[in-house]
Amino acid sequence: MRKIITIALGFFIASLSQAQEASITAIKAGKLIDVENGKLISNQIILIRHDSIISVGANITIPKNATVIDLSSYTVLPGLIDCHTHITGQPGGDYYAAIFRQTPVDVAVTAHIYAKRTLEAGFTTVRDLGSAGLVDIALRNAINKGDIVGPTIYAATVFIGSTGSHGDLNGFSPYLEFNAPKGMSGVANGVDGVREQVRFNVKNGADVIKFGASAGVLSEEESVGAPQYSQEEMNAIVSEAKMWGRKTAAHAHGAEAIKMAVKAGVASIEHGSLVDAEGIALMKQNGTYLVSDVYDDEYILSEYSKLGFPDKIINKEKLVGKLQRENFQKAVEAGVKIAFGTDAGVYPHGWNAKQFKWMTRFGLSPMGAIQAATINAADLVGIKEKVGSIVAGKLADIIAVKINPLEEITSLENVQFVMKAGVVYKK
Ligand code: ARG
């Protein structure tokens, strides 16, 4: 009897190690972008077991039973990370219809389409900064479970904003009221109120906290740059988030609001359009990331009037679009940390990489722009140990393009190979 068990065990172990060897994938990378050292290296072999990279180098023997993926005529780089998406929706119809005839259920029904498009565009991770009805959480969880296809999502749940802010609904009769359950609108005021809202978001699954430090463009309140929370409220949001182990992202266009948010200790300034010299210095000093959506202006000015957005909004865009790009360049030149973030959802998902061209036009080198979307983005999201570069021990989030993006950055708009956690989604 004991003999039988031993023999059976022997077979079991033999087939296990065979299976293990068989489960190794080897990628032959003609060129590989080493984002940690800012270098392009040639003829690398990447070995992957299950979801992780086990080794990378030029002199690696490919195990006999490994599945080989030949990317020797491609440039291989880490999966891209977009630190500012709204992956659950995108403009598709009339401005008022979206406000009055759509519920979070409508959003939920189509969100998976955008998630798939984003992943297929080479974005293996996104930080999603604001979604209605906790759809982002449901989407994140379904992707993590493997039920649907999409990038790994770090989600903010609802945008936290003051009454009358970018996060509120403005410009309508006060007799109109939406009956969102408590907490679901994200409108919160006062130190106690904002603390409670942060707790609500965390309780419901938020990985990151997002709030409106200043007014916005695509909302009907006045003065795109004006602060919309007091210093005390911003401090409370950030410290409450910290208490729960969450980083904070501040939506901020205006110079004053940017400085207030940086002083409060946010991890990133989103948009940063009207940042001044003092704000740039303060961001540098505090190590605050700038996440600037420098492509958006193109799309908003060409499409949003057709979608019925009020002139008031279009005029706000005209006010900030150009300045945002110029100030982005100033921040880059001053050495402010830059992470890639697009606000995708303002324009169609899957177009995220269009922003690279604008980042390189306004101050970044192609390598700098790619680092912003890989190693820097991973640092901002707090996942540097897991993703952001192709090194042993990290998840096998790997993409490839035909044309070397260090020579032609727009090649990232056409990603040909996508692997997320060792699984190939596009080939
Ligand atoms: N969500 C942002 C807002 O409404 C979009 C800003 C887009 N414009 C721009 N120039 N980046 O404020």
Distance, in Å, from the CA atom of 88 to the CA atom of 137, rounded to the nearest integer, reads: 10
**DSSP string over 271-333:** E-TT--HHHHHHHHHHTPEEE--TTHHHHHHHHTTTTT--HHHHHHHHHHHHHHHHHHHHHHH
Count CB neighbours of 2 within 10 A.
6
pLDDT tens track for 354-399: 999 999 999 999 999 999 999 999 999 999 999 999 999 999 999 9
158 lines ligand 1 (CB under 6 A): no
Dump pLDDT digits (tens) for 278-287: 999 999 999 9
343 Cα–ligand 1 center, Å = 8
**How would you class 145 by CB atoms within 10 Å of its CB: exposed for 0-12, middle for 13-18, buried for 19 or more?**
exposed
Can you read off the two tokens belonging to residue 13?
């172990």
207 lines ligand 1 (CB under 6 A): no
Q: Is 296 in the pocket of ligand 1 (CB under 6 A)?
A: yes
Equal CATH topology for 22-79+389-426 and 80-381: no
pLDDT above 90 for 195 = yes
Q: What is the number of the ligand 1 atom nearest to the C-alpha of 343?
A: 1
- Contact at 8 Å (CB) between 288 and 268? yes
Structure confidence at residue 179 as a pLDDT band (50, 70, 90) = confident
What is the mean pLDDT of the segment spanning 131-140? Answer: 97
- CB of 168 closer than 6 angstroms to any ligand 1 atom: no
Q: Which of ligand 1's atoms lies nearest the C-alpha of 324?
A: 10
Cβ contact 326:379 at 8 Å: no
Q: What is the pLDDT of residue 354?
A: 98
pLDDT above 90: residue 178: no
Question: What is the band of 15 on the pLDDT scale with cuts at 50, 70, 90?
Answer: very low
Q: Give distance in angstroms: CA of 254 to centre of ligand 1.
A: 12
Fold annotation for 80-381: TIM Barrel (3.20.20)
Q: Ligand 1 atom closest to Cα of 271?
A: 11
- Reported as a pLDDT band with limits 50, 70 and 90, residue 302 is very high
Read off the pLDDT band of 91 (50, 70, 90).
Answer: confident
Of 57, 1, 83, residue with least CA distance to 371? 83
380 φ/ψ angles, rounded to the nearest 5 degrees? -60, -45
- Whether 129 lines ligand 1, by a CB cut-off of 6 Å, is no
Structure tokens at 264: 């409060």
For position 177, what pLDDT does the model report? 84
Find out whether 68 and 28 touch, Cβ atoms under 8 Å: yes
Alpha helices in 64-181 (DSSP H): 95-100, 104-120, 135-145
Q: Which atom of ligand 1 approaches the CA of 297 most closely?
A: 10
pLDDT digits (tens, 9 = 90+) for 224-250: 999 999 999 999 999 999 999 999 999
Q: State how far the Cα of 243 lies from the Cα of 259, in Å rounded to an integer.
A: 22
Give mean pLDDT, residues 14-27.
65
Pick from 296, 342, 347, 352 the residue to mutate for probing ligand 1's pocket: most ligand atoms within 8 Å of its CB. 296
Separation of first and last alpha carbons in the chain = 50
Ligand 1 atom closest to Cα of residue 216: 12
What CATH class is the domain 22-79+389-426? Answer: mainly beta
Q: What residues does 125 pair with on adjacent strands?
A: 81, 152
Whole-number mean pLDDT of the chain? 94
Per-residue DSSP letter, 201: H
Residue 318 Cβ inside 6 Å of ligand 1? The answer reads no
* Torsion sign across C-alpha atoms 25, 417, 401, 335: negative
What is this structure's pTM? 0.95
Q: How far is the CA of 10 from the centre of ligand 1 (A)?
A: 63
Residues 391, 394, 399: CA angle, nearest 5 degrees: 75
pLDDT at 92 (0 to 100): 78
The percent of residues in the chain predicted with pLDDT above 90, rounded, is 91
The domain ranges of the chain are 22-79+389-426, 80-381
Q: Does the beta carbon of 217 sit less than 6 angstroms from any atom of ligand 1?
A: yes
Q: Is the CB of 341 under 6 A from ligand 1?
A: no
The continuous run of DSSP H or E covering 19 comes out as helix 2-22
Given this model, what pLDDT does residue 1 score? 45
Q: What is the mean pLDDT of residues 399-420?
A: 98
Q: Is the CB of 271 under 6 A from ligand 1?
A: yes
pLDDT value of residue 22: 52
